[in-house]
Amino acid sequence: MWRDPQPQWASPGGRVVQLGDAAHTFIPSSENGATQAIEDAVSLATCLQLGGKDNIPAAVKVHVKLQYVHDYRRKNPTPQYVRETY
């Protein structure tokens, strides 16, 4: 990591969500921004679809938690995670 993680990736009401490089703290030379933006978009769309129109703030919170855990695991991989992923 080249900077501390953002304290929040979404606004309190779930109306604004950071995606890609804005949300993730990979070093700029990792060339990971576009991939992260696509992963974030798919995750957010899926959470919104499952949550429905009445639960947008909750769906955004689920997306943020899932991506935060996924992000942490990529930056701090266990041997098992590396075997399963690569």
Q: Could you read off the pLDDT of 25-42 as tens digits, one per residue?
A: 777 666 777 788 898 899
Q: Where are the domains of the chain?
A: 20-85
The predicted structure's pLDDT at residue 2: 55
| Mean pLDDT, range 42-50, rounded to an integer | 95
Q: Are 74 and 86 in contact (CB under 8 A)?
A: no
- pTM here is 0.73
pLDDT of residue 1: 47
Per the CB < 8 A criterion, the answer to whether 47 and 59 are in contact is yes
Instruction: Residue 64: count other Cβ atoms within 10 Å of its Cβ.
Output: 21
Average pLDDT over residues 14-28: 78
